[in-house]
Amino acid sequence: MTAPFMIVMHPDGRREQCPWPADDDAQLAVLQEAVGGYVEYVSPAWHALTNWDVYVNEEGLDMLPHNVVGSQLAGLDLRMYAPWCGPVVLAPRVGSSAAERERAREFFARLEAAAEYGARLPGWGVVIDARAS
């Protein structure tokens, strides 16, 4: 059995494979070093990977270059969304993402319906569809 690893995809197209620590406490430090700052977990609703968790720099939009290659490899639909910024990290997923994906599908279906019909959802205020055309 091979040791677990993570993949770091840099904005310039470089990819590197790094060891993934078995210790949960060490994983955050490794992720922070890989993304160069605070870590943001990307929900499976935003990517197409089933065996990997995706992490990016939380403040990447403020100062880091777009990572088109990393965004495409993770399956982000660049026709609808801007690419992530800074390094994109793929780390081994523990468990299944099926339940999280289903909750996200239901959530986005409600948003679509509200945006299409101009409906207000209880406690949500107004829904604004800000996706690129």
The whole-number pLDDT of residue 119 equals 54
Full pLDDT tens readout for the chain, 133 residues: 577 899 999 999 999 999 999 888 899 999 999 999 999 998 887 888 888 899 999 987 778 999 999 999 998 889 988 999 999 999 998 765 666 667 766 776 666 666 666 555 555 555 566 665 5
The whole-number pLDDT of residue 80 equals 86
The whole-number pLDDT of residue 94 equals 72
Which has the closest alpha carbon to 75: 106, 94, 97, 59? Answer: 97
- Specify whether the CB–CB gap between 66 and 11 falls below 8 A: yes
What does the DSSP assignment read for the chain? Answer: -PPPEEEEE-TTS-EEEEE--SSHHHHHHHHHHHHTSSEEEEPGGG---SSEEEEEETTHHHHS-B-HHHHHHHT--TTTSPPPBS-EEEEEPPS-SHHHHHHHHHHHHHHHHHHHHTPPBTTTB--------
pTM, entire model: 0.72
The whole-number pLDDT of residue 104 equals 67
The whole-number pLDDT of residue 12 equals 95
